A and B are shown apart, each in its own frame.
Chain A
Amino acid sequence: MSHLDELEAESVYVLREAFAKLERPAILWSLGKDSNVVLWLTRKAFFGHVPFPVMHVDTGKKFKEMYAFRDRYAKEWNLNFIREECPPVEMTDPTLPPAARSAARKTLGLKAALAKHQFTGLVAGIRRDEEAIRAKERYFSPRSEDGSWNLKDQPPEVFEQYMTSFPPGVHVRIHPLLHWTELDIWRYTKRENIPAIDLYFAKNGMRYRSLGDEDITKPVPSTASTIDEIIAELETTKVAERSGRAMDHEAEDSFERLRATGYL
């Protein structure tokens, strides 16, 4: 088996565990390259089918290309698609720096959506290599009722046995891409011919490496205008993937605080 085959098998196993063990799981679709790979892997796991609802928690501030992508593939991939909205920014913690407040909106929207649909599990496309705090995640990561993550007391994850049953009120985040890297994502996207939003490809010497809200996401200098060129770029770069995401860099612990309170 090739490296990509092994990555795929591990993710498929995790997705099948979620389907087998959780009562009401859903997939979070952020429309970015990672969650598109999650959807693809779901179709791999279930032989062309996506047996979970697919939810986009919409900030209303995404790029227009992202909305066009969403509307097209929700139909084309025959998804059981749910769109939920985020509350206004005034509802967020005013002690957070501005860009982090913008991100915190998504957390509030997520909590409201969880309460509304009573999902017991949310599949999210985060990876350990994206960000230092995410490196500490589990494949099955329990969240308390208010969505908070107790990162100092996480369940052990041994022998590919995951925490799949929970006391009432607790839900679980499932992270099938935890062991992937940004480079793996692009190599797999290329091999499987998965559609990708145009913003990832360089125009006028700039491209987006990571997509979020339009007002707090900046492109990085790049000449990579095809997947092959992106792969070549990533093989040598030392610039962090989320360097264009303002909310990570406002304070040393911005991201940790976001995540502990339920941010993805």
Chain B
Amino acid sequence: MPDHSGQKLAIVIVGSVDHGKSTLIGRLLHDTGSLPEGKFEALQAMSTKRGMPFEWAFALDAMQAERDQGITIDTARIRFATRKRDYIIIDAPGHREFLKNMVTGASAADAALLLVDAEEGVREQSRRHAYVLHLLGIRQVAVLVNKMDLVGFDADRFGKVAEAIRGNLNALDIEPTHIIPIAARDGDNLATKSQRMLWYQGPAVVDVLDEFHPRTRGIEAPLRLPVQDVYKFDQRRIIAGRIESGRLEAGQQILFSPSGKVVKIASVEAWNVPEPPTSAVAGAAVGITLDEQVFVERGEIISHVENPPVLTNVFRGKLFWLSKKPLEVGRSYTLKLATVEAPVVVEKIEKVIDTTDLGERQMERVERDEAAEVIFRSTRMLALDEYRSVPGTGRFVLVDDYLTVAAGLVSMEGYPDQRRQLAVKATNVHAVGHAVTREARTLRNGHAGGVLWLTGLSGAGKSTLALALERELFAKGWHVYVLDGDNVRSGLNRDLGFGPEDRAENIRRIGEVAALFADAGFLVVTSFISPYRTDRQRAREAAGERFREIYVKASLEACEARDPKGLYRKARSGAITDFTGIQAPYEEPEHPDVIVETDRQSEAECIEVLMNFVRQQFAI
């Protein structure tokens, strides 16, 4: 039965520049009787006017600029019909710099035709485009080996090219449905079987198209309804959004993630419909009302209670980088996933993938048109899905400075769902005097609050390490703050001098302030000589279990040789008194949690030790 209800299968045609995509499309339109009346003659006139042989590609290259340069700039959409059904062809440009347009075109496709030149064989662009199909989740692919006329319709040549491209696609988990030898310019094996390649036993291109299936949103998959908006135009309070997967019904209990609220659907709303609906399925843009007024907003994901999305503040993105500015560790981008927008920080680039040979490299940055696997950390909890389970809530883009700079898929391999953690912790929590619990802060920040108490001689390198550690952690999305003499002495402890009592009080106040910061969810790094065990013990008691003592160790000789502030010199000359290590004792920590030895280790080595320690002790 022909299906001309208007439902169209979207086909993207990809492949290296000059492998004949536009020619293929022009010819396909002609051979299926889909060219508008007079277009063929107009094309002929256009070619004559330019003194060129007849050019099928002119059927598409609507823009003057494209005709003159002879390349396709953007994604054009062309409609045509076979006897079976209607199609939209998305013509994706082959030029390297136009990859973002190709991604735009291909992301809307049900299936793809990958075009390879019989003479040139598989090129870098062919492989890159195959990788884009892989990354955009397009698994229905047929390969057309074009320009067979230029290789004398040679079956052996076809076999070689076919084998090469099949190998490339298989490495990407794509099994081509067919590999077809064609000569697009002359129409060989397009609408009908060619008489010039009788050795080819398979179907023609049009028959292969008719075999493809439309990509649909999964109605049988778990319910995912990202909240797009909440309306209050009249007495109804309507939660609006598009169902990405599954189905819902009035009366059902639903869960909002990440907020965790559970309510019942009171009604399914619609305007100008024959009868009010009571249910809706994937693909529908719906509105629902709730049986209870709870605060929800754009960005939450509605599911059923028993099959919720993953909760996490860290995930892996398999992505394509589209921006001229490279992706770098420590940089922050805006994540857009379904309707949520949240800042995320690049924590780690796991690997950069060369899309031409699928080789993997370790890299500090990801350049334009490269693919990569990247770990992102968010300061707030995200509800999302593994792409393979629910595509609609498992794919994302990144925005930087108003521009979309990446498109990618979520992979949670190796990362736990934090929903369970959240639930277990919530039941164990006792009143702590705060409406917002410590656990809640920890979950949102992605790390616990705490105090890293750096102690050591003057000149041992405490401040240098504290500030370097702050920079590193901040870049990775941590809430971190350094307390040192500079910011404490000028305000909080302005009234204190340098006598023994005042120094003890100085450390006491710092210990209390650090404990409050830790309570607020921050990781505080303190940088004070704090020479007395009793003073440090008091600071430990203030912060409790979140206190860690870091001994920044260096010999007195080394410190005196460095003497960054000239204090040792002044102490030796008697210009200052009670100087630790000279006139006053430094009591070494008995059981420090970490020792870094700055006279034996480089700053980078010390930072590595501290970063590992911090992650292990405070990250969730």
- How many A-B contacts are there with CB distance less than 8 Å? 145
Say yes or no: A47 contacts B76, CB within 8 Å: no
- Interface segment out of the listed A89-97, A160-168, A207-215: A160-168
A157 CB–B CB distance under 8 Å: yes
Say yes or no: A45 contacts B402, CB within 8 Å: no
- Interface segment out of the listed A12-20, A117-125, A222-230: A12-20
Q: What residue of chain B has the Cβ atom nearest to residue A240's Cβ?
A: B36
Tell me which residues from 66 to 91 in chain B have a Cβ below 8 Å from any Cβ of chain A: 73-79
Tell me which residues from 235 to 256 in chain B have a Cβ below 8 Å from any Cβ of chain A: 236, 238, 240, 242
Assess A16 versus B228: contact at CB under 8 Å? Given A6-B283, A135-B76, A238-B37. Answer: yes
Q: What residue of chain B has the Cβ atom nearest to residue A40's Cβ?
A: B272
Bound complex: CA A19 to CA B230 (Å)? 11
- Interface segment out of the listed A28-36, A98-106, A148-156: A148-156
Bound complex: CA A129 to CA B86 (Å)? 14
Assess A156 versus B101: contact at CB under 8 Å? Given A1-B281, A43-B271, A46-B233. Answer: yes
Say yes or no: A183 contacts B6, CB within 8 Å: yes
Contacts of B77 in A (CB 8 A): 128-129, 135
Bound complex: CA A9 to CA B457 (Å)? 68
A62 CB–B CB distance under 8 Å: no
Say yes or no: B6 contacts A47, CB within 8 Å: no
A49 CB–B CB distance under 8 Å: yes
Contacts of B64 in A (CB 8 A): 252-253, 256
Chain A interface: which size bin?
A: 35 or more
Bound complex: CA A46 to CA B238 (Å)? 9
Contacts of A203 in B (CB 8 A): none
Task: Return the CB mask of A121-153 against B: 1 if under 8 Å, else 0.
Answer: 000000011001101101000000000000110
Bound complex: CA A135 to CA B62 (Å)? 9
Q: What residue of chain B has the Cβ atom nearest to residue A192's Cβ?
A: B272
Contacts of B573 in A (CB 8 A): none
Contacts of A253 in B (CB 8 A): 63-64
Task: Return the CB mask of B1-12 against A: 1 if under 8 Å, else 0.
Answer: 000111100000
B194 CB–A CB distance under 8 Å: no
A205 CB–B CB distance under 8 Å: no
Q: What residue of chain B has the Cβ atom nearest to residue A154's Cβ?
A: B74
A115 CB–B CB distance under 8 Å: no
B298 CB–A CB distance under 8 Å: yes
Say yes or no: A136 contacts B76, CB within 8 Å: yes
Say yes or no: A3 contacts B242, CB within 8 Å: no
From A3, A159, A161, A238, give the contact of B5 (CB < 8 A): A3
A76 CB–B CB distance under 8 Å: no
- Interface segment out of the listed B393-401, B440-448, B541-549, B553-561: B393-401
Contacts of A256 in B (CB 8 A): 62-64
- Name the residue among A16, A46, A129 with the largest chain B CB count within 10 angstroms: A16
A98 to B: closest C-beta gap in Å: 20
Assess A161 versus B284: contact at CB under 8 Å? Given A47-B236, A156-B404. Answer: no
Say yes or no: A156 contacts B233, CB within 8 Å: no
Say yes or no: B285 contacts A163, CB within 8 Å: no
Assess A16 versus B402: contact at CB under 8 Å? Given A43-B272, A47-B236, A161-B397. Answer: no
Tell me which residues from 360 to 413 in chain B have a Cβ below 8 Å from any Cβ of chain A: 395-397, 399, 402-404, 407
Contacts of A8 in B (CB 8 A): 285
Bound complex: CA A156 to CA B400 (Å)? 13
Say yes or no: B284 contacts A156, CB within 8 Å: no
Contacts of B396 in A (CB 8 A): 159, 161
B451 CB–A CB distance under 8 Å: no
Task: Return the CB mask of B334-346 against A: 1 if under 8 Å, else 0.
Answer: 0010000000000
Assess A163 versus B402: contact at CB under 8 Å? Given A13-B228, A47-B233. Answer: yes
B36 to A: closest C-beta gap in Å: 5
B221 CB–A CB distance under 8 Å: no
Q: What residue of chain B has the Cβ atom nearest to residue A131's Cβ?
A: B62
From B78, B107, B229, B240, give the contact of A158 (CB < 8 A): B107
Bound complex: CA A1 to CA B6 (Å)? 13
From A13, A132, A165, A238, give the contact of B399 (CB < 8 A): A165
Say yes or no: A158 contacts B228, CB within 8 Å: no
From B78, B272, B285, give the contact of A12 (CB < 8 A): B285
From B46, B100, B107, B236, give the contact of A159 (CB < 8 A): B107
Contacts of A252 in B (CB 8 A): 46, 64
Bound complex: CA A109 to CA B491 (Å)? 60
Bound complex: CA A128 to CA B7 (Å)? 16
A20 to B: closest C-beta gap in Å: 5
Assess A151 versus B100: contact at CB under 8 Å? Given A3-B6, A16-B228. Answer: no
Bound complex: CA A151 to CA B62 (Å)? 12
Q: What residue of chain A has the Cβ atom nearest to residue B391's Cβ?
A: A159
B287 CB–A CB distance under 8 Å: yes
B104 CB–A CB distance under 8 Å: yes
From B36, B284, B399, B403, give the contact of A1 (CB < 8 A): B284
From B73, B78, B284, give the contact of A9 (CB < 8 A): B284
A181 CB–B CB distance under 8 Å: yes
A51 CB–B CB distance under 8 Å: yes
Contacts of A187 in B (CB 8 A): 6
Contacts of B397 in A (CB 8 A): 156, 158-159, 161
Say yes or no: A5 contacts B284, CB within 8 Å: yes
Q: What residue of chain B has the Cβ atom nearest to residue A194's Cβ?
A: B272
Please, could you name 14 A-B residue pairs with CB atoms under 8 Å apart, sorted by A? A1-B281, A1-B283, A6-B7, A9-B283, A20-B229, A48-B271, A133-B62, A135-B76, A136-B62, A136-B75, A157-B104, A157-B404, A158-B107, A159-B395
For the complex with contacts A155-B404, A163-B402, 14 further pairs of A-B residues with Cβ separation under 8 Å are A45-B240, A47-B236, A47-B271, A128-B77, A133-B63, A154-B74, A156-B404, A157-B404, A158-B407, A159-B395, A163-B403, A166-B402, A238-B37, A240-B36
Residues of B within 8 A of A (CB): 4-7, 35-37, 46, 60, 62-65, 73-79, 100-101, 103-104, 107, 136, 228-229, 231, 233-234, 236, 238, 240, 242, 269-272, 281, 283-285, 287, 298, 322, 336, 395-397, 399, 402-404, 407
Residues of A within 8 A of B (CB): 1-10, 12-13, 16-17, 19-20, 40, 43-49, 51, 128-129, 132-133, 135-136, 138, 151-152, 154-159, 161, 163, 165-167, 181, 183-184, 187, 192, 235, 238-240, 252-253, 256
